[in-house]
Amino acid sequence: MSLWEYANPVRFIRFTDRVLPPLAVLAVVCLVVGLIWGFFFTPDDYRQGSTVKIIYLHVPATLMAINAWLMMLVASIIWIVRRHHVSALAARAAAPVGATMTVIALATGAIWGQPMWGTWWAWDPRLTSFLILFLFYLGYMALWEAIENDDTAADLTSILCLVGSVFALLSRYAVNFWNQGLHQGASLSLDKEENVADVFYFPLLVCIAGFVLLFVALVFLRTQTEIRARRTRALIARERAA
């Protein structure tokens, strides 16, 4: 048994069919518990008041927006190297989810920034690089849509994803150079003793788990849909030919 077994579309669909319902339920439970816990059962911050609670949407969405691109990058490399169709389709399936996460992150950030910074938008390095990331998502999805041949589209978008990753990273650090930041440093990192006060930390972890599960479930579902759509197209083409 290895991971590559699931490169077979039939196996992939059989596996995800089994996993999807518990995954979806778990995601919903995590999100509901995390958000309700976070919104109603944590104290207000002494400086930020209740606005601090947007962290439960903002941080997980931001995390997933970046990791979705990372997942697309890995899937693209797998497609280029081993040419498993499921991998290419998974990258395609992840893009709109990642783009939505980017929008959520930007929107919640703006809603929080209005009372806290006194402005909806600032040309801060983090905000700017996120906007640029969103543009990369748009370009990637548009290229998928534009090309008719599936394999050509998979090849070209994978290469775009590789090149785009390099440039997105470059832009991330280039904007640091260009303007000073208003945004605070990273709230979470693995090498710190305490990231956020524990009262806020645990519901945040539950929310992050919920977002991760939601992302995985959505990508599985969308990949299944892509596989089935492609199969349908193949069947129709065969009917026509016969």
Partner 1 sequence: MIALLLRDLRLAVRAGGGFGLGLAFFLIVVVLVPLGVGPETALLSRIAPGILWIGALLACLLSLDRIFALDREDGTLDLLATAPLPMEGIAAVKALAHWITTGLPLVLAAPVLGVLLNLPAGGFAWLFLSLLLGTPALSVIGTFGAALTVGLKRGGLLLSLLVLPLYVPTLIFGAEVARRGAEGLAVEAPLLLLAGVSLGALALLPFASAAVLRVTLR
Q: Which residues bind partner 1 (CB under 8 A)?
A: 132, 135-136, 138-139, 142-143, 146-147, 152, 155-156, 159-160, 162-164, 167-168, 170-171, 174-175, 177-178
Taking the complex as a whole, the smallest distance from the CB of residue 158 to partner 1 amounts, in Å, to 10
DSSP-H helix ranges across 118-149 = 125-146
DSSP-based three-state secondary structure for 194: coil
Residue 87 beta carbon to partner 1: minimum distance, rounded to whole angstroms: 16
Helix (H) or strand (E) holding 64, with range, is helix 55-82
Nearer to partner 1, 49 or 139 (CB): 139
Quote the Cα angle for 95-213-108, to 5°.
65
Scored b (16 or more CB within 10 A) or e, 140-155 reads bbebbeeeeebeebbb
When the beta carbons of 171 and 223 are compared against partner 1, the nearer one is: 171
Which one, 115 or 139, has the nearer CB to partner 1? 139
Can you say how many angstroms the Cα of residue 127 is from the centroid of all Cα atoms in its chain? 16
Tally of residues, the chain:
242
Q: Rounded to the nearest whole angstrom, what is the least distance from the CB of residue 132 to partner 1 in the complex? A: 6
**Closest CB to partner 1 among residues 19, 142:** 142
Instruction: Give me the least distance between CB of 139 and partner 1, in Å please.
Output: 5
